[in-house]
Amino acid sequence: MDTRTHAWKAQGVPMTEVSDRAAGVGMSLGEALGRLRQAQKRAGGVSLYSRFVNRPTGRLLAAGSYVAGLTPNQVTLISAGFSFGGVAVLAFAEPSWGTGLVVWLALAVGFAFDSADGQLARLRGGGSPAGEWLDHVVDCAKITALHAAVLLTLYRHPGHFGAGSDAWLALPLGFLFAAIVTFFGGLLTEQLKPKPAPGNAPAPPSTLRAVALLPVDHGVFCLVFLLLGGGELFLWGYALLGVAALLYLPLFLAKWFRELSRPAAAAAGRTGM
């Protein structure tokens, strides 16, 4: 039982109404948004796109999902439906400007719902290990399937992309390598890093860092599919983001290794053994 439920019971709210409130029944979208703003995590460590586009969009979707009585796991599955729908269109439809628009829209909406599931969990008083597991498994599968779909469409339509050599097929494989290692390394770092002491104010978000992270933000990556009808234009845009992912990877790994090598992190690791 979460802290909100305890508070409502202490106020003498009947259990039937407590259940309705926990599910968001009878709550307006504005009320849900107000509560959600109080349950936000800090904006540090994310790009400008995630801070100013994806998280606010996800907040609206989370509030709407809360009012509708959806669970975070259901929102995760909605995110997966949009994302894998976009992947399927990319893999099997003829590449064109219209196809690219559909792919981008599906992936962007899926990414927004991916932000919404975590925000909804915080709004409901906290997530569950199973929910976090599902979210990460869907994210990993989405990354893998998306680059595999790029590989497939390059293989099926080399003339459209001006890919005169099979060497271009190595591009999505290299991009996938960088994306998966970055995803796993960041996730593992978050799990192994000691949690900050209660009451410590988080550092203010850095605008410079937020700008620097734009080339490796998933939302920015989704935008490249708007160029799908341009053939070579898409290929070069995808290649530039792939090179950025490969260049950022050693920087991320070095940063995470340093963080986990600090005395506090090392002590926490020994305690957990």
- Average per-residue pLDDT for the chain: 85
Name the more confident of 25 and 192. 192
Residue 172's Cβ-count burial label (10 Å; 0-12, 13-18, 19+) is buried
Residue matched to tokens 């599910």: 23
Give the per-residue pLDDT at 28: 72
Whole-angstrom Cα distance, residue 239 to residue 224?
Answer: 10
pTM of the model: 0.84
Write out the H or E segment, with its range, that includes residue 213. Answer: none
Give the per-residue pLDDT at 124: 83
Residue 168 has pLDDT above 90, yes or no: yes
Q: For the chain, list the domains and their CATH numbers.
A: 10-37+46-192+206-265 (1.20.120.1760)
Name the more confident of 106 and 35. 106
Whole-angstrom Cα distance, residue 23 to residue 18?
Answer: 9
In this prediction, residue 43 has a pLDDT band, given cuts at 50, 70 and 90, of: low
Whole-angstrom Cα distance, residue 79 to residue 73?
Answer: 10
Q: Which of 6-20, 124-138, 213-227 has the lowest mean pLDDT?
A: 6-20
Give the per-residue pLDDT at 163: 85
Looking at residues 57-72, what average pLDDT do you find? 92
pLDDT in tens, 115-144: 999 999 988 877 899 999 999 999 999 999
Residue 13 has pLDDT above 60, yes or no: no
Residue 68 has pLDDT above 70, yes or no: yes
Name the more confident of 154 and 28. 154
| Widest distance between CA atoms in the chain | 72
* Phi, psi at 247, each rounded to 5°: -75, -35
Residue 114 has pLDDT above 90, yes or no: yes
Instruction: Please check whether residue 224 is in contact with residue 234, taking contact to mean a CB–CB distance below 8 angstroms.
Output: yes
For the stretch 67-73, contacts whose Cβ atoms lie closer than 8 Å and that sit 24 or more positions apart, written own/partner, are 67/24, 67/27, 67/28, 67/29, 67/32, 68/24, 69/23, 69/24, 69/25, 70/120, 71/120, 71/124, 72/117, 72/118, 72/120, 72/121, 72/124, 72/127, 72/131, 72/135, 73/117, 73/130, 73/131, 73/134
Looking at residues 213-222, what average pLDDT do you find? 96
Torsion, Cα of 261, 46, 146, 164 (10° steps): -90
pLDDT in tens, 254-271: 999 999 998 765 555 555
Name the more confident of 165 and 244. 244
Name the more confident of 14 and 100. 100
Question: Alpha-carbon torsion 144, 148, 149, 154, what sign?
Answer: positive
* CA atoms in the 13 A half-sphere facing the CB of 49: 15
Write out the H or E segment, with its range, that includes residue 27. Answer: none
| Number of Cβ atoms within 10 Å of the Cβ of 124 | 21
For 190-206, letters b (16+ CB in 10 Å) and e give: eeebbeeeeeeeeeeee
Residue matched to tokens 């960088």: 178
